[in-house]
Structures are given as C-alpha cells and as structure tokens.
Amino acid sequence: MAQIPTPEMLDDAVNAFCLQGILKERTPYGNGHINDTFLLTCDDGGREQKYILQRMNRSIFRDPVSLMENVANVTAYLRKVISEGGGDPDRETLRVIKTGDGKNYFEDSLHNFWRVFLFIDDTFCLEKIENARDFYDCAVAFGSFQRQLSDYPADTLHETIPLFHHTPSRFQDFKKAVEADPLGRASLVQSEIDFALAREADTHVLTDLLEKGELPLRVTHNDTKLNNILFDNATRKALCVIDLDTVMPGLSLYDFGDAIRTGACTGAEDERDLSKIELDLSLFETFVRGFLEGCAGSLTSLEIELLPMGAKLMTYECGIRFLADFLVGDTYFKTHRENQNLDRARTQFKLVADMEKKWTKMADIVKRLS
C-alpha cells in the first residue's frame, strides 16, 4: 500500500508546479478512492485561484507518463475546439498545469507521480440521477465529447490499460477463472456461468467490425458514469467531462453502453433483490436522444444502429468481470460484504436478460430518434 502523503511530500509536489499566487490552504478533497486528491487555494494578488493536486495511484495506473500524455494531448485538442466554437475552455474541459521544467507531471524522490489541474469553480457532481433532465444533459455531454474529438487521431493515443473493453479478451479471462476455480466456487454459480457461456458469440460482434474497418476507432472516455460530469451551479447544465484517466482508443459504443449500464438500470449495481433490476426504457430513450444530439451527426449509421448492442455488451462484459473476480477470490473489485461481486454479476446478467426481452423496443427507439 502506498504511503500516506506527508506534508513534506505535498510541499515538494506543490513547489514543482507553476501555480499563480501564494499557497494559502491545502486540504483533502472529494470522495474518490483511486487517487489522493487535494484542493489548493492560492492568493494571486487578492484574487483567489484554486487548483486540484493529485497523486496518481501506481497500482492501477502502471504507466503514468503515457497516461498524462494522453490527458494533456486530448485536453489541449479540446481546448482548441471549444475556443473555436466560442466556448470557455477553462470551464468546459480540464486544464493541465505544467511543472517548472515543462512536464505534465512531477515524479518525486519516492517515485510518486503527481499532477495538477485548474479547479473549475461553481460546479457540482451528481452521484445518482435526480431527474430525467440530468440524464439527458449527461448524454449530451458525453455525445459532445465524441463529436469534439471525432477528428482526433485516436490511434496516436496510448492504450494505458491494454484490452480494457476488448470483450473477447475479457471472455477468455472469465473462462480461465472458471477452469482454475481456485476456491471451489464454480459449482455454486453454475447457472451464472452457463448464462455467460451461452453468449460467447456476442462477445466478438463489435471487435470483428472494428477489425474489418466497418466501425471507426475513436477517442473514448471508458468510464461514462454520471459523476464524471461537472454541472454548472447557476444553470444546472452539464458543463465538463472529467476523470480522463481511462481516455484511450476505442469505440463510441463503449461510452454509450457503459452509461446505459450504470444510468438506465432501475436498481443498484449490487442489489440482491433481482426483481428490482430492469432496463428503464424511458431513461434509455432519454439518453439516446441526448447522446445523438451531442454527437451532432458525427456517428456513422452503423454506430447508431448498434447502440443497443453497445449497451448489452458493456453490461455483459462487466458481469463476466464481476463473476470471474468472485471465482478467484475477489482480488480486483473491492468488496464490503460476502458475495458482493457475485451479487454484482447477477444484477448485470439480469439487466442483459431484460435488454434481450426489450430488444425490439430498444432498436425501435434508436431508429425513431436517428
């Protein structure tokens, strides 16, 4: 486990970056569980200037240099697009603050990697959908992210987490977990294993189309949860897509699908009562409408047609990852109670099954709105 940042470590990190003004306050910030995050408040000649300082989690992000190269290049591109469109790049995307020697990160003597972003004031995040309008605005924001980066050369980005949303690879990992069965748990979950194995053919659909050149490689966020959007305090409009650590080359369908998986499900991810789990078609329609509006014609007709498959595959993929982790002893996803990863897998599979029941309705919604 990484050492808790000491005041001396924080001093070294703060002093490495080109901040405006004199540091007045440094406090822990947010409720994230991956990086260590601090809010820096500086006095810049009577004007308050705030920054976010983070120590990156090296156990998750093994190549922080490549990660920060992705973040810096993508945000620089976004700032240009936003400025040309008459927007405010300091509020509508992240701004990476450089070190005194011009780097996007600072490596301290203990090989901790630090970074600083300009703080975006007068904003808030949502942990859950409070109304359909919130989900619609979230969809517009993630769709706009796709549109703004539609001409970015995605193949120049580093794949910082190899095969992150490569469903065939995830399926092979799942099969290996079933075969190894180190804790003898497979016999307890045979119906869940059978459910996953029965859908092997689906795992290749999107990757095969990508390899054939029928789906375009795009810049993808890969973690399109509601709480990765900043909303404006004054307008309550979605303002800025944040948490760009998993920005990589991928498919637009990954971002659409993961947002549906997390936002259009009627129950919690680890809900034990599966009768509470289904796809909310009204929320699905809301997100499709907002996503297509944000994309503003930047998606191909095939990408649009396959939006339901994106939702199903991202849900299925997460389900087999949860089940595989349960089988090998809960070594990847954090758990807070017994069988939590199994409960997570079951909710994902129930959601997949419900999508299959509503497949025609999902396809009709997409066709009507496109």
Same domain, 204 and 149: yes
Same domain, 66 and 170: no
Residue 351 tokens read as: 């959601």
Q: Which of 122, 121, 138 is nearest to 234 (CA)?
A: 122
Residue 251 lies in a domain: yes
Residue 201 lies in a domain: yes
Q: Is 26 strand, coil or helix?
A: strand
Residue 2 lies in a domain: no
Number of structural domains in the chain: 2
Same domain, 196 and 312: yes
Q: What are phi and psi of 117, to 5 degrees?
A: -120, 150
Residue 91 lies in a domain: yes
Domain boundary among 119, 144, 172: 119
Check which CATH number belongs to the domain holding 49 and give it: 3.30.200.20
Same domain, 101 and 185: no
> What is the structure's pLDDT at 33?
66
Domain boundary among 90, 119, 148: 119
**DSSP-derived secondary structure letter, 265:** B
Check which CATH number belongs to the domain holding 355 and give it: 3.90.1200.10
For residue range 212-240, what is the model confidence (pLDDT) as tens digits? 999 999 999 999 999 999 999 999 999 99
Residue 22 lies in a domain: yes
Q: Which of 364, 242, 351 is nearest to 305 (CA)?
A: 364
Domain boundary among 119, 144, 168: 119
Domain that holds residue 205: 132-369
Same domain, 115 and 152: no
Same domain, 267 and 181: yes
Same domain, 194 and 227: yes
Same domain, 98 and 151: no
> What is the structure's pLDDT at 3?
76
For residue range 190-219, what is the model confidence (pLDDT) as tens digits? 999 999 999 999 999 999 999 999 999 999
Same domain, 82 and 141: no
Residues of the chain with pLDDT under 50: 1
Query: Which segments of the chain does DSSP mark as H helices, in order?
Result: 7-16, 64-84, 89-92, 132-148, 167-180, 190-197, 205-211, 252-263, 281-295, 301-305, 307-328, 340-357, 359-369
Q: Contact, 137 vs 54, CB < 8 A?
A: no
Residue 239 lies in a domain: yes
> What is the structure's pLDDT at 1?
46
**DSSP-derived secondary structure letter, 222:** S
Residue 127 lies in a domain: no
Same domain, 271 and 358: yes
> What is the structure's pLDDT at 30?
82
